[in-house]
Amino acid sequence: MLDHRLSSEYEELRRTVAEFANDVIAPKIGEYYEQNEFPYEIIREMGRMGLFGLPFPEEYGGMGGDYFALCLVLEELARVDSSVAITLEAAVSLGAMPIHLFGTEEQKREWLPKLTSGEVLGAFGLTEPEGGTDAGATRTTARYDEATDEWVINGSKCFITNSGTDITGLVTVTALTEPLTHSSDGSSNHSPTREISSIIVPTGTAGFQVSKKYSKVGWNASDTRELSFTDCRVPAANLLGRQGRGYAQFLRILDEGRIAIAALATGLAQGCVDQSVQYAGTRRAFGRPIGANQVIQFKLADMETRAHISRLAWRDAASRLLHAEPFKKEAAIAKLYASEAAVDNAREATQIHGGYGFMNEYPVARMWRDCKILEIGEGTSEVQRMLIARELGVTS
């Protein structure tokens, strides 16, 4: 018989993070959010809790957990605040995970202990100003300089999370590289074949410039910036994995990341339910709590239903991932449904709160501002529908 209940270890982790979110994040995050400040104090405490190392082996400073545990944590954090949740999600799924999955032993030893402790944040430079959803249309280039044994990077990236904080240590950048073939005499020959590779660029490298923070609608307590590279040189050893495998690498990273975003979206959707149930029980109109009105009850029932189904969807996808089963379709379904559920719940929560829902001092106002990006980042809703149709065998 199937059992959807959490194990005692997972439940203890979930409860611990829920308490942290309610006791530590909730009282402070509003001020960070309104002042567009990165919550370094909160991030340090999350590092001490081991949250940044959850799915990584202990030999690299991790907690020896798994991706399911990470998603549990993201849901609980996002029930209170999405800026903190997306900081953790990007740091783990986009910053550290590529090095864990594709890096050399030397790269893992150098970077993972810092990343898993939260001492350093990593970022993933994929999206470009003219690329957007078409991530394969990369224009950033990396030319190999044989004289110095270095990659010379030129180009730009946009909407990159965790790329400009005081504790950012690296950005893994996708770039066009020329295939190198070696002849029998040891000389190198260049092929014109187009390929994409991933390269680690440490913060502070000459020619690597980080722009000022974007002015965003939501996620105001997270860090998002544009990056530019002008003759930026890094050692050839900074190549992540095999040359020309960058496209395949980020496709895998995005597939896994969609489960994490689905969990985050589920947390936001559930947070809207939590806040609305509390408000409906205390807000009085026409002599009784507004929760006594059937129209409010039906709204809350629909909101809870959406959050519940979202949770089942991401847990199913995460379980398939952990059991090494195909999960691409299930991840796309989870991300699509949960992100749209978050948007629907945030809209209804704001409606239930009435005029107060439009005031930034109420968490639902922050949730309303944060929800829309969930239908865009890690692949738009349209892309998820394309992926699902493709997995069904429907092709154009």
- Give residue-wise pLDDT tens across range 19-56: 999 999 999 999 999 999 999 999 999 999 999 999 99
Among 142-156, 178-192, 302-316, the range scoring the smallest mean pLDDT is 178-192
Q: Which of 73, 95, 121 is the last residue of a domain?
A: 121
Is there a single domain that holds both residue 222 and residue 307?
no
Q: Per residue in 273-285, pLDDT tens? A: 999 999 999 999 9
Is there a single domain that holds both residue 30 and residue 13?
yes
Is there a single domain that holds both residue 232 and residue 209?
yes
Model confidence at 389, pLDDT cuts 50, 70, 90, reads very high
Q: What angle do CA 338, 357, 34 make, to 5 degrees?
A: 85
* Pair 289, 281: CB distance under 8 Å: yes
41: annotated active-site residue: no
The residue assigned the tokens 């078409």 is: 134
Residue 187 lies in a domain: yes
Among 44-48, 178-182, 336-340, 354-358, the range scoring the smallest mean pLDDT is 178-182
Among 73-87, 145-159, 226-240, 242-256, the range scoring the smallest mean pLDDT is 242-256
The CA distances from residue 238 to 175, 176, 292, in Å, are: 13, 15, 61
CATH number at residue 233: 2.40.110.10
Please give the Cα distance from 62 to 50 (Å, whole number): 7
Is there a single domain that holds both residue 116 and residue 129?
no
Is there a single domain that holds both residue 352 and residue 380?
yes
Is there a single domain that holds both residue 255 and residue 338?
yes
The CA distances from residue 177 to 73, 95, 104, 107, 246, in Å, are: 37, 21, 19, 20, 10
Is there a single domain that holds both residue 276 and residue 341?
yes
Residue 396 lies in a domain: no
* Pair 270, 75: CB distance under 8 Å: yes
Is there a single domain that holds both residue 153 and residue 135?
yes
Is there a single domain that holds both residue 158 and residue 257?
no
What pLDDT is stored for residue 182 in this prediction?
38
What pLDDT is stored for residue 395 in this prediction?
75
Domain span at residue 157 reads 122-244
Q: Which of 67, 96, 121 is the last residue of a domain?
A: 121
What pLDDT is stored for residue 131 in this prediction?
72
- Domains held by the chain: number: 3
What pLDDT is stored for residue 1 in this prediction?
52
Q: What is the dihedral of CA 307, 309, 313, 315, to 10 degrees?
A: 70
Residue 117 lies in a domain: yes
Please give the Cα distance from 213 to 175 (Å, whole number): 23
Mean pLDDT of 329-335: 98
Two structure tokens written together for 294: 């059937």
Is there a single domain that holds both residue 170 and residue 276?
no
CATH number at residue 39: 1.10.540.10
Q: Which helix (H) or strand (E) holds 263?
A: helix 246-282
* Pair 236, 151: CB distance under 8 Å: yes
What pLDDT is stored for residue 183 in this prediction?
34
Residue 128 lies in a domain: yes
Q: Which of 214, 244, 274 is the last residue of a domain?
A: 244
Q: Which of 12, 378, 382, 391 is catalytic?
A: 378
* Pair 122, 201: CB distance under 8 Å: no
**pLDDT value at 216 more than 70:** yes
Two structure tokens written together for 10: 């997972």
What pLDDT is stored for residue 192 in this prediction?
42
Is there a single domain that holds both residue 364 and residue 254?
yes
Please give the Cα distance from 154 to 228 (Å, whole number): 8
Is there a single domain that holds both residue 219 and residue 254?
no
Q: Which helix (H) or strand (E) holds 34?
A: helix 26-34
- Give the number of other CB atoms < 10 A from CB of residue 394: 9
Model confidence at 396, pLDDT cuts 50, 70, 90, reads low
Please give the Cα distance from 255 to 335 (Å, whole number): 10
Residue 137 lies in a domain: yes
CATH number at residue 365: 1.20.140.10
Return the beta strands (E) in 203-316 as ranges. Answer: 208-210, 224-235, 239-240, 284-285, 288-289
- What is the identity of the amino acid at 123? A
Q: Per residue in 92-125, pLDDT tens? A: 999 999 999 999 999 999 999 999 999 999 999 9
Task: Tell me whether strands 168-177 and 195-202 are parallel, antiparallel or unpaired.
Answer: antiparallel
Residue 370 lies in a domain: yes
